Copies of this chain bind each other. A is one copy, B any other.
Amino acid sequence: MAHVTVWNEYRHEQQSDEVAEVYPDGIHSTIADFLSDDHDVTTATLEEPEHGLPEAVIEETDVLLWWAHLAHDEVEDAIVERVHERVLEGMGLIVLHSGHYSKIFKRLLGTTCSLQWREDDGTERLWVVDPGHPIVDGIGEYIELPETEMYGEPFDIPEPDRLVFTSWFEGGEVFRSGCCYRRGSGKIFYFRPGHETIPIYENPEIQRVLENAVDWATPNEGAPRTFGNRE
């Protein structure tokens, strides 16, 4: 049973009544809830000491989920460094929605991770472009979200190892909304949905994708990563 840590900035929920109504206990609690059926889940947030990610926690984590938006800069570099090292050693990382601008995602990918966006409440369809991928097990040909914020191309990321979802937006844009990478021994999945004012993490299809993604990103044994002087 994989050890999952759900990290959330947890600001919107405390600052906005609108968001608090959607996620009264925070986005992290909602996600932790549905993942708890099959995984050993804990949560962590920005305001906790070491952002809730002391070494002991990171050491034990198989897969880390990351939601953030307002306070990317407040995440301490030392914690980013710690997470970065663990990903290279094999910990899975699932970056959600506005987490595309987090320090850890930019650090792992090496690009700006910039994109275009618009708050317009239009419909989004996440088309499955890689129907053979385990992250879409049990999903239909697309997931439709009736109201979402728009994220549009260009998305300044390295070409994904596998592109799993591409979103269609009512307003005329497209977006690579489900992207897989490997860095070191760690698997990384970026998944676009998750705007804080809409209960997207209550959607059973979105939940299924995240459950699948946790399974996919769980570390395997691998071979030794031995570096240095070879006398």
- Whether a CB of chain B sits under 8 angstroms from the CB of A146 is no
Residue of B nearest to A225 (CB): B131
Minimum C-beta distance from A77 to chain B (A): 11
Cβ contact within 8 Å between A154 and B226 = yes
The size of the chain A interface, using a CB distance under 8 A, is 65
Cβ contact within 8 Å between A140 and B223 = yes
Minimum C-beta distance from A98 to chain B (A): 13
- Whether a CB of chain B sits under 8 angstroms from the CB of A199 is no
CB-CB < 8 A to A110: which residues of B?
Answer: 107-110, 183
Could you give, for residues 124-152 of chain A, a 1 whenever the CB lies within 8 Å of some chain B CB and a 0 otherwise? 01011111111011111100000000101
User: How many chain copies does the complex carry?
Assistant: 4
Apart from the given pairs A154-B225, A158-B183, 10 other A-B contacts in the complex at a CB distance below 8 Å:
A90-B132, A114-B227, A127-B173, A128-B223, A132-B222, A134-B222, A141-B226, A156-B184, A156-B225, A166-B174
In the complex with contacts A168-B174, A230-B150, A222-B118 CB distance below 8 A? no
A134 to B111, CA, bound (A): 19
List residues 84-130 of chain A with CB under 8 A from any CB of chain B.
88, 90, 107-112, 114-118, 125, 127-130
Cβ contact within 8 Å between B174 and A222 = no
CB-CB < 8 A to A129: which residues of B?
Answer: 153-155, 174, 176
Cβ contact within 8 Å between A153 and B128 = yes
Cβ contact within 8 Å between A224 and B166 = no
- Whether a CB of chain B sits under 8 angstroms from the CB of A38 is no
A-B contact pairs, 22 of them (CB 8 A): A88-B112, A90-B132, A111-B184, A112-B227, A114-B228, A118-B229, A127-B152, A129-B153, A129-B174, A129-B176, A130-B159, A131-B223, A131-B224, A137-B223, A140-B223, A141-B153, A141-B154, A154-B225, A156-B227, A158-B181, A167-B174, A168-B173
- Whether a CB of chain B sits under 8 angstroms from the CB of A186 is yes
- Whether a CB of chain B sits under 8 angstroms from the CB of A220 is yes
